[in-house]
């Protein structure tokens, strides 16, 4: 179906709040609200140094009563002290410092804490403790990048650095630096507030799951956010600055739209033509709609079926071939098979066709299942070097569309293709346990 806006569906699924992104009518990403322990990630506390462990060049900082976190002295050369004094000796037991949870506690491992505070916006990320500039690798316009560098050199930023997110290019340089200025002011307020707060106080808590789900998407090409959860709808209204009057204007034809969506659902469609949508897009701003129809939103978009397929070990290809996906503790293994594939072409042509189709689907599945770390793909063996080069080029193109950094390393002498994908959150199969 053509001319479709991307859709983000936020609803309850299997007893948890889920955010499912549809692109071009197909599910592209599924995330569930983190468990309580994981929700600490990004929270800034006033912590107290319990002890210094010189042999591992680290400190252990109590950030909640009775709960310690690991604090690398190598990575945190400039602690932020809570008393606002400018002169301090080496960090010692009893010192109160600002710490942010960089990684939540996992099983027997303590949480990882840092004083290199990070505040994330939609177009910009502020990172304290380093004054460098970073620009998303997906922004390739050299003139635009150079203009950002010139603007950065003329900007007052103290000891804070800036990372320009992919959304920044579409939003414009002025928007990026306006957001950075707001984040910098927030950072100063957080540091100042620490002097009047007691130990273990929370100074900053990131946005909720729903707000982050919207914020982290590239929305320059248009996005409609649909939820049947009134509390999430109100929260997103506040976060996006959408008033009730504007929402009412945007969703004036919501009833007609929902009827059209139900009709589409009975035809086994997961998306609606943009001409039938209730909300139009403002430039760079997602539209927001509260779904109030009696027909369940999960059924309308077949979310249970989509989730079951995304958790399945086997993924079937149109050609009759399949992928067998096996996540393990150390890495993820993907096996490509011809399975039911039937073709009158030669074996080499059949194998190449199946492998190319598999390469496209692998890129989809990595994002959908949120697989990360080391990924090994066992494609169907091909004898011709030219076929192997064609396959690697196709896979490299496919993974570049992933918003999470994914690198195709190489093909081993045994014909196994190695990839790495940056870990942002837990894989889907762990999120739904």
Q: Are strands 96-103 and 26-32 parallel, antiparallel or unpaired?
A: unpaired
Is pLDDT at 341 greater than 70 in this prediction? no
Q: Which of these, 41, 66, 61, 35, lies nearest to 50 by C-alpha position? A: 61
The answer for 40, left when phi > 0, alpha when psi is -120 to 50, beta otherwise, is: alpha
What is the model's pLDDT at position 255?
A: 46
Is there a common fold for 42-205 and 312-431?
no
**How do residues 148-158 score in pLDDT, each as one tens digit?**
999 999 988 88
Residue 46 near residue 38 (C-beta atoms within 8 A): no
| Highest mean pLDDT of the ranges 154-158, 220-224, 266-270, 300-304 | 300-304
Q: Looking at the DSSP assignment, which residues form a beta bridge with residue 161?
A: 127
Is pLDDT at 221 greater than 90 in this prediction? no
Q: Determine the average pLDDT of the residues in 366-392.
A: 95
Query: Higher confidence at residue 313 or residue 107?
Result: 313
Q: Determine the average pLDDT of the residues in 293-316.
A: 96
What is the model's pLDDT at position 89?
A: 83
Q: Determine the average pLDDT of the residues in 198-214.
A: 91
Superfamily (CATH H level) for 42-205: Nucleic acid-binding proteins (2.40.50.140)
What is the model's pLDDT at position 114?
A: 95
Q: In the predicted model, what is the mean pLDDT of the chain?
A: 86
pTM of the model: 0.78
State which fold the 312-431 domain adopts: Aminopeptidase (3.40.630)
Q: How far is CA 124 from CA 86, 322, 373, in A?
A: 28, 40, 25
What is the model's pLDDT at position 343?
A: 59
**How do residues 113-132 score in pLDDT, each as one tens digit?**
999 999 998 899 999 988 89
Is pLDDT at 374 greater than 50 in this prediction? yes
Query: Higher confidence at residue 225 or residue 239?
Result: 225
Residue 124 near residue 164 (C-beta atoms within 8 A): yes
Q: Which two tokens stand for residue 118?
A: 């990070």
What is the model's pLDDT at position 247?
A: 54
Q: Which of these, 70, 127, 126, lies nearest to 101 by C-alpha position? A: 70
What is the model's pLDDT at position 261?
A: 53
What is the model's pLDDT at position 267?
A: 41
Query: Higher confidence at residue 37 or residue 184?
Result: 184
Torsion angle (degrees, nearest 10) of CA 310, 432, 204, 240: 50
Confidence of residue 258 (pLDDT cuts 50, 70, 90): low
Q: Determine the average pLDDT of the residues in 36-48.
A: 85
Confidence of residue 108 (pLDDT cuts 50, 70, 90): confident
Residue-range domain boundaries for the chain: 6-34+208-305, 42-205, 312-431
What is the model's pLDDT at position 3?
A: 43
Task: Give ∠ CA 278-279-285 in degrees, rounded to 5.
Answer: 165
Low-confidence winner among 238-247, 273-282, 332-341 (lowest mean pLDDT) = 273-282
% the chain with pLDDT above 70: 86
Low-confidence winner among 181-185, 282-286, 396-400 (lowest mean pLDDT) = 282-286
């Amino acid at each position: 179906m053509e001319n479709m806006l991307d859709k983000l569906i936020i609803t309850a699924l299997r007893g948890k709040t889920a955010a499912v992104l549809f692109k071009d009518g197909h599910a592209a990403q599924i995330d569930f609200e983190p468990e309580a322990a994981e929700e600490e990630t990004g929270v800034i506390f006033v912590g107290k140094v319990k002890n210094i462990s010189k042999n591992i060049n680290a400190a252990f900082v109590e950030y909640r009563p009775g709960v310690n976190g690991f604090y690398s002295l190598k990575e945190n050369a400039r602690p932020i002290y809570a008393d606002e004094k400018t002169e301090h000796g080496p960090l010692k037991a009893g010192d109160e410092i600002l710490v942010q949870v960089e990684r939540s506690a996992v099983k027997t491992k303590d949480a990882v804490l840092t004083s290199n505070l990070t505040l994330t916006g939609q177009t910009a990320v502020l990172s304290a403790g380093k004054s460098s500039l970073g620009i998303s690798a997906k922004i390739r316009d050299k003139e635009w990048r150079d203009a950002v560098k010139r603007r950065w050199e003329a900007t007052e930023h103290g000891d804070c650095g800036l990372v320009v997110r992919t959304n920044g290019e579409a939003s414009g340089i002025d928007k990026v630096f306006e957001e950075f200025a707001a984040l910098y002011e927030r950072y100063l307020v957080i540091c100042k507030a620490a002097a009047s707060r007691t130990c273990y106080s929370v100074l900053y808590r990131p946005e909720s799951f729903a707000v982050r789900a919207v914020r982290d998407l590239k929305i320059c090409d248009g996005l409609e956010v649909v939820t049947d959860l009134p509390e999430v709808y109100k929260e997103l209204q506040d976060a996006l600055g959408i008033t009730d009057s504007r929402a009412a204007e945007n969703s004036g034809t919501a009833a007609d739209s929902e009827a059209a969506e139900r009709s589409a659902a009975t035809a086994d469609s997961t998306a609606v033509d943009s001409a039938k949508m209730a909300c139009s897009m403002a430039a760079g701003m997602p539209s927001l709609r509260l779904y109030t129809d009696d027909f369940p939103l999960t059924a309308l978009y077949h979310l249970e079926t989509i989730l079951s397929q995304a958790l399945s070990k086997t993924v079937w290809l149109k050609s009759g071939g399949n992928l067998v996906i096996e996540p393990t503790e150390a890495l993820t293994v993907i096996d490509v098979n011809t399975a039911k594939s039937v073709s009158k072409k030669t074996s080499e042509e059949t194998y190449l066709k199946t492998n190319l189709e598999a390469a496209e689907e692998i890129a989809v599945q990595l994002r959908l299942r949120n697989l990360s770390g080391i990924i090994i793909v066992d494609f169907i063996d091909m004898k011709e070097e030219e076929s192997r080069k064609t396959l690697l080029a196709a896979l490299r193109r496919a993974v570049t569309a992933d918003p999470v950094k994914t690198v195709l390393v190489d093909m081993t002498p045994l014909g196994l293709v190695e990839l790495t994908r940056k870990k942002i959150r837990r894989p889907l199969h762990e999120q739904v346990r």
